[in-house]
């Protein structure tokens, strides 16, 4: 009897050893298929590996990667959860789970996973960068800047981290330091058209229009189909009162993207300043056709109609602008004046009063002029 027990025990060991090898073989087959981008085949092999060894944290992790590549994000997260449950010590599992949560716009939970990964390994620049992106999306620009800075300390040539740090500084209105970051990004990559465009935007806000135009020129030279740079260069030229040249830039942006509502709107403004009111209305019409909720386009179209003494048409447009944006002070103010022009003084003064309550300084002047 003793001998029999020994035989059974030895047999049990033999089976366990054989199963372990087989699980590893399935795992390796899965890795081979994963590397060859056969994600469904890889999942099949990892399933077999897990059936034999349900504590194989690596199989769960790799199966999660395969599912993620098939956009089965829920399934991927479940596998990453299981891998972490078995062994919560691996940087890559937390990183990949955080990445999926980021893609699903679950930024707060993504940050938690990235933070856990950093606790395990704080030498990887990319993890700090991606945590910075998540913080950016939560409007935590100061926190994002800290993470981008850490990524840059690890990798001083991390161009996109430098660029995004500049963008975060821009949102915080730290314009001069934003320019410094865009300049550093350009020094590393002289063909970085977005950095030229964004540096131009900051210079534009600082009213350095000529220097802004230089940056937009460079962005367009690098990418001749950069519609945003054409639009932005048009804005700078318009502020220099070079309206005809601005119109040329807006037109180019529209040629690149015929659905670029902002370019139609901006071209309409330039035509208005050239007193081409009908041409301006045509462009506002197009902007509204593309975006029927474009309150500024309704307002400016009303303004153009008002200049043509089409007061009823102007009022209709101001009505629409206010319907879209009930706190649009300028629209209330201009509607009030248009109503006064058609002898609806009481209603007009009421509109001007509402504009005053919404904080319009111009409405105060108009109330004194028309309503006292």
Rounded distance, CA 166 to CA 232, Å? Answer: 18
208: which DSSP letter?
-
- The per-residue pLDDT for range 168-179, each reduced to its tens digit, is 999 999 999 999
pTM value is 0.87
Q: Is the torsion defined by CA of 34, 37, 38, 43 positive or negative? A: positive
Report the 10 Å Cβ neighbour count for 22: 14
359: which DSSP letter?
T
292-372 belongs to which homologous superfamily?
Tetratricopeptide repeat domain (1.25.40.10)
Determine the pLDDT at residue 326: 98
Which tokens is 203 given?
């210079």
Which of 105, 38, 106 has its CA nearest to residue 69? 38
Determine the pLDDT at residue 21: 62
Determine the pLDDT at residue 22: 84
Residue 2 exposed, middle or buried by CB count within 10 Å (0-12, 13-18, 19+): exposed
The low-confidence residues of the chain, meaning pLDDT below 50, are 1-20
Which tokens is 157 given?
């040539």
**C-alpha of 315 from chain center:** 35
Determine the pLDDT at residue 3: 30
The structure tokens 């940056």 sit at 215
Strands (E) located in the chain: none
Which tokens is 214 given?
């230089």
Rounded distance, CA 22 to CA 48, Å? Answer: 9
Which of 310, 350, 313, 320 has its CA nearest to residue 333? 350
**C-alpha of 85 from chain center:** 34
Which tokens is 25 given?
């073989």
Rounded distance, CA 40 to CA 38, Å? Answer: 6
Cα(first)–Cα(last) distance of the chain, in Å?
115
Which tokens is 82 given?
């299981």
Residue 290 exposed, middle or buried by CB count within 10 Å (0-12, 13-18, 19+): middle
Domain positions in the chain are 292-372
Which of 238, 288, 281 has its CA nearest to residue 261? 288
Determine the pLDDT at residue 13: 28
């Amino acid at each position: 009897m003793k001998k029999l027990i020994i035989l059974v025990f030895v047999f049990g060991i033999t089976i366990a050893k054989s199963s372990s090898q087989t699980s590893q073989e399935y795992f390796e087959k899965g890795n081979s298929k994963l590397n060859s981008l056969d994600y469904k085949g890889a999942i099949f092999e990892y399933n077999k590996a897990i059936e034999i060894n349900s504590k194989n944290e690596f199989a769960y992790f790799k199966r999660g990667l395969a599912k993620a590549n098939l956009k089965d994000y829920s399934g991927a997260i479940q596998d990453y959860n299981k891998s972490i449950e078995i062994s919560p010590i691996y940087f890559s599992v937390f990183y990949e789970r955080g990445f999926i949560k980021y893609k699903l716009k679950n930024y707060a939970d993504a940050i938690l996973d990235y933070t856990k990964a950093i606790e395990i390994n704080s030498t990887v620049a990319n993890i700090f960068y991606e945590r910075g992106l998540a913080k950016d999306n939560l409007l935590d620009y100061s926190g994002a800047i800290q993470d981008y800075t850490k990524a840059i300390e690890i990798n001083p040539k991390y161009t996109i981290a430098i660029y995004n740090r500049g963008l975060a500084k821009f949102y915080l209105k730290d314009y001069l330091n934003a320019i410094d970051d865009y300049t550093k990004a350009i020094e590393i990559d002289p063909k970085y058209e977005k950095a030229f465009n964004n540096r131009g935007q900051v210079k534009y806000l600082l009213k350095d229009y000529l220097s802004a135009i230089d940056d937009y020129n460079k962005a367009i030279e690098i990418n001749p189909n950069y519609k945003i740079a054409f639009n932005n260069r048009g804005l700078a030229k318009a502020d220099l009162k070079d309206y005809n040249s601005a119109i040329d830039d807006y037109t180019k942006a529209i040629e690149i993207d015929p659905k670029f509502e902002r370019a139609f709107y901006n071209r309409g403004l330039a035509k208005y300043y050239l007193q081409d009111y009908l041409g301006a209305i045509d462009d506002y019409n197009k902007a509204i056709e593309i975006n029927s909720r474009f309150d500024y386009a309704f307002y400016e179209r009303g303004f153009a109609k008002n200049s043509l003494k089409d007061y009823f048409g102007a009022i209709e447009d101001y009505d629409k602008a206010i319907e879209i944006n009930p706190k649009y002070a300028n629209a209330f103010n201009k509607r009030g004046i248009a109503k006064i022009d058609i002898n609806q003084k009481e209603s007009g003064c009421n509109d001007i009063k509402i504009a005053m309550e919404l904080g319009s300084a111009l409405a105060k002047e108009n109330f004194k002029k028309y309503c006292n």
